[in-house]
Amino acid sequence: MTRKINSDIIIDSVARACIEAACILDKQAYNAIESSLLNEDNETAKYVLSELLDNADIAERDCIPLCQDTGMVISFVEMGIKVQLEEPVEDLINKGIKKGYEEGVLRKSVVKDPFERINTKDNTPAIVYIKQTEGDKLKINLMLKGFGSENMSFVKMLNPSLSQNEVVDIISDEICNRSYNACPPLFIGIGIAGTMDYACVLSKKALLRPLNESNINPVYSDMEERILDKLNKSNIGPAGYDGKTTALSVAILAYPTHIAGLPVAVTIQCHALRHREIIL
């Protein structure tokens, strides 16, 4: 038996999710900023963190974007094998984005060609990753990825004989160098191994993990903790104006790889964590 899902339901859900993500700060992110405020004793850091909470309150109250950069949309789709759609899911997501960015008056930041740089005027196309699953559910995760932080993200093809400690040091130092422009406090997604491209995908996917969870493998949860600790001892702080809160979380996803390789990708996400999950 197949389960048919109407196009309109998907388009409307995506549109609504884009507007909500842009204007209402993820509750976990809000709480993380609030807790970090209690941990800071630097006056400027406290000022910046309370301004961020105030900004989130104003954005939600007036339904205006938290940040003018409402991102390029990245979507992770899990589609049950019994789901039947009227159009390809990627087309439906793009139609939803077009509707959401128009109705929510969100900034259209996508250009059609990297050199001609003509705006597509509807913030499409999105970057869509589709995975097939068992069952009859359609799960669509949307990430509105701002480019202040995206421009600071990176991938490195490391030497496979490096130890975990060495990798922790390399990643932490590189993030520190790049964090001033990325609107800290940051959320860090790290993809380890696979191939160069897949490590990058994992680094994005890692950012979808709930903030109160760690990697189930103690090797990786330990690396997550140590990277977070190093970043927060760097004294870069909120907005890069000093303080203990440079990052709010670090999430690692690992994958099998080749004997010759150790690709490591890091997606840097600013404090405006804008994700929404749709389950139909």
Partner 1 sequence: MIKIHTPFNDEILCKLKPFDKVLITGYMYIARDQAHKRMYMEGIPFDAAGQCIYHCGPSEAKNNEVIGSAGPTSSYRMNEYMPYMFENGIRAFIGKGKVSDAVVESIKQNRCVYFGAIGGLGAKLSKCIKKQRIIAYESLGTEALREIYVENFPAVVIINCEGESIYERDG
Bridge partner residues of 84 (DSSP): 4
Stretch that binds partner 1, among 57-65, 75-83, 159-167, 250-258 (CB under 8 A): 57-65
The three-class DSSP label of residue 61 is helix
Among 93, 190, 252, 272, binds partner 1 (CB under 8 A): 272
> Does 18 engage in binding with partner 1 (CB under 8 A)?
no
Bridge partner residues of 155 (DSSP): 265
Among 5, 32, 40, 70, binds partner 1 (CB under 8 A): 70
> Does 100 engage in binding with partner 1 (CB under 8 A)?
no
> Does 67 engage in binding with partner 1 (CB under 8 A)?
yes
* Cα–Cα distance, 192 to 190 (Å, whole number): 6
Strands ordered across the beta sheet of 262-269: 154-158, 262-269, 186-193, 247-255
Which DSSP state fits 115?
T
Among 5, 175, 183, 265, binds partner 1 (CB under 8 A): 183
Among 7, 28, 31, 44, binds partner 1 (CB under 8 A): 44
Q: What kind and span of H or E run contains 33? A: helix 27-39
Stretch that binds partner 1, among 2-10, 156-164, 178-186, 187-195 (CB under 8 A): 178-186
E-strand ranges in 197-259 read 247-255
Among 106, 110, 200, 252, binds partner 1 (CB under 8 A): 106
Q: Is-contact 237 244, C-beta < 8 A? A: yes
Nearer to partner 1, 70 or 94 (CB): 70
Q: Which residues contact 275 (CB under 8 A, 6 or more apart)?
A: 21, 26, 141, 142, 143, 144, 207, 208
> Does 69 engage in binding with partner 1 (CB under 8 A)?
yes
> Does 180 engage in binding with partner 1 (CB under 8 A)?
yes
Phi, psi for 91 (deg, rounded to 5): -65, -40
Nearer to partner 1, 36 or 215 (CB): 36
Quick one: tokens of 115?
A: 């050199």
Binding site for partner 1 (CB under 8 A): 44, 47-48, 51-52, 54-56, 58-59, 62-70, 105-109, 117, 119, 148, 151, 180-183, 235, 238-242, 270-272
